[in-house]
Amino acid sequence: MPLYEGLSGFGLINEKHTTVVFDFGTAFTKAGFAGESGPRVIVRSEVKCRKTGELVPVFEYKDEEELRHHLVDFIHRLYFKHLLVNPKDRRVVVVENLLCPSMVRNCIAKVLFRHYEVLSMLFAPSHLVSLMTLGISTGLVLDLGYQEATLIPIYEGVPVLHAWQALPHASKNIHSSLCELLLDRGLCVSADGKEQRLNTLMDSLPEKTLEDIKVRTCFVTTSERSGRLQINKYDRSVEPPPPPPSIAYPLGGGRMLTIPGTVRELATEGLFERDEDCLSLATMILVAIMKVPIDLRRSLAENLVIIGGTASIPGLKHRLLSEVRSLAASPLYSEKIKIRTFKVHKPPAKDNYVSWLGGAIFGGTEAVVLRSLVRDQFLQKNILPDWCNLSFNVKQERDEKSA
C-alpha cells in the first residue's frame, strides 16, 4: 500500500472513497474532499515550465498541448503533495464557471481520465452550487474573480443563461491600478534612510507583491467620499476628503515602501467606474434583472450573492449595494425596474471558497453517482458532454418502426 494512501485512513474520517473536489481558478486553486467545511489547500495556479523551469500560470498557454502539460504537473502536485491520496478509483467534482472555454474543460477531462484514471467526473456550475451553501435555490450570483466578474441569475435551481453578464472588473484591474498609483505616488526608503520615488527604482511591481499589498492595505471607500474625490479631479476648488493614514510596507533588502492613504483608497475605484458602454458592477446587476421575466425580478433582487476573492476586500459589498440602490432610484432605471429593495446574503464561508464549499456539499450527495461521467464512457466516445453543444441537448428521434 502506498504511503499516501495509508495516511488517509488515520484520523476520525476515513477518506478512502471520499470524492475529491477541485475549483480551478486563474489565480488560485482550491482542492479538498466532499463533505468537509473547507478546502484542504488553496494554492496559486502556477506550475514549473518544463522548458525553462520558471513558474508560469497554469492557464496561460499557447496551445492545448501546453495546457495539458501544465495541468498534468499541477494536478500531480495537488494529489501527491497536498491531498495525499491515490487518484485512481476516486470520483472527482470540478467546480467550473459556465463561461469556461470548452477546450479547457475537455483538457481537464482528458488529464483526469487518461493520465490519472479517476473513476468518474462531474462538472458543477460554480454559480449554482454557491447557493447550496445558503440552502436556497434562487439568487443573483456575482463572482468576482481574478480576470473578470461574471454574473448569472439562478431561479429555482436553473441558471437563466440569456441574462448572464461579464466585465473585466476584478483583481487584475485592481492590480493594474495599484501598480500605476504606487509608481506615481509611492516613496521608497532605503536602509540608510535615503528617500526616493518608487518609479526611479523599478518599472513595475511583481504580481505577488501587488496581491499582498491589496489584501493587507486596500479597501473600498464609501460612495460619498468617492464622489468628492472625483469632483476634486476636475475642480480643485472643491476640498477633497481627508486621506486615510499612510502605511509602511517592507520591500526586502532593508527597503520600506510608504503607501499613501489615497493609493489605498483609489486602487479599487476602477471596479465602480463605467466603461465605454456605461457598464459597471452595479449596472451589471440591474441589467441582469431587467433581462429576466418580470415575475422573477423581486426574488432575485432580494437574494444577491457576491462571491470570489475580490469580494473579500473591506467595504466592497456595502459600496456595491449602495451603488445599486442609488442607480435603481435614478431616472435611468426607476421606470424600468420598480424595485427598491436589494439584499445581500452572507455565505457561511470565506468569499474566496464559497463555490468550492458548494461543490463539496454537492459531492456528498447521490448526484455525484447518478450524474457523473464515468471513465469507461469517456474513453469509449472520447468526448465530454457539453451543455452548449446541440448534439447533447437535442432529443433523438425514435425509429418510426420502433425496431
- Distance (Å, whole) CA 291 – CA 209: 40
Long-range (24+ apart) CB contacts under 8 A made by 134-139 are: 134/305, 134/345, 134/347, 134/348, 136/303, 136/345, 138/296, 138/299, 138/300, 138/303, 139/300, 139/303, 139/304, 139/305, 139/345
Residue in 305, 281, 326, 254 with CA at minimum distance from that of residue 133: 305
Let me know whether 231 and 290 are in one domain. no
Work out the mean pLDDT of the chain and round it to a whole number. 87
Residues 124-131: what's their mean pLDDT?
94
Let me know whether 93 and 198 are in one domain. no
Q: Where are the beta strands (DSSP E) in 168-287?
A: 187-189, 195-197, 247-252, 255-259
Let me know whether 193 and 322 are in one domain. no
Long-range (24+ apart) CB contacts under 8 A made by 98-106 are: 98/125, 98/126, 98/127, 98/152, 98/159, 98/161, 98/164, 98/387, 99/150, 99/164, 99/166, 102/386, 102/388, 102/389, 103/64, 103/67, 104/59, 104/67, 105/384, 105/386, 106/384
Quick check: 403 pLDDT over 50? no
Structural element, H or E, at residue 135: none
User: Among 6-20, 83-97, 125-139, 383-397, which is the least confidently predicted range?
Assistant: 6-20
Residue in 66, 133, 193 with CA at minimum distance from that of residue 363: 133
- Give the pLDDT of residue 391: 66
User: Among 91-100, 174-183, 199-208, 321-330, which is the least confidently predicted range?
Assistant: 199-208
Percent of the residues in the chain that have a pLDDT greater than 90, as a whole number: 62
Kindly state the DSSP code that residue 53 receives in the 8-state scheme. -
- Convert the pLDDT of each residue in 9-33 to its tens digit: 333 344 457 899 999 999 999 999 9
Report yes or no on 52 lying in a domain. Answer: yes
- Convert the pLDDT of each residue in 66-96 to its tens digit: 999 999 999 999 999 999 999 987 899 999 9
Let me know whether 122 and 141 are in one domain. no
- Give the pLDDT of residue 218: 94
Quick check: 395 pLDDT over 60? no
Q: Are strands 165-167 and 247-252 parallel, antiparallel or unpaired?
A: unpaired
How many domains would you assign to the chain? Answer: 3
Q: What is the CATH number of the domain that holds 243?
A: 3.90.640.10
- CA 132, 134, 140, 146 dihedral sign is negative
- Convert the pLDDT of each residue in 113-122 to its tens digit: 999 999 999 9
- Distance (Å, whole) CA 73 – CA 29: 14
Let me know whether 236 and 335 are in one domain. no
- Give the pLDDT of residue 91: 94
Q: What are the beta bridge partners of residue 153?
A: 140
User: How would residue 160 be classed by pLDDT, with cut points 50, 70 and 90?
Assistant: very high
Q: Residue 260: which residues within 8 A CB-CB, separation 6 or more? A: 185, 186, 243, 246
Let me know whether 209 and 342 are in one domain. no
Domain that holds residue 235: 171-271
Residues 296-322: what's their mean pLDDT?
94
Let me know whether 362 and 386 are in one domain. yes
- Give the pLDDT of residue 308: 94
- Give the pLDDT of residue 278: 77
Residues 157-183: what's their mean pLDDT?
92
Report yes or no on 191 lying in a domain. Answer: yes
Q: Give backbone dihedrals phi and psi of 147, rounded to 5 degrees, phi first.
A: -85, -40
- Convert the pLDDT of each residue in 195-252 to its tens digit: 888 888 888 899 999 999 999 999 999 988 888 877 776 666 667 788 899 999 998 8
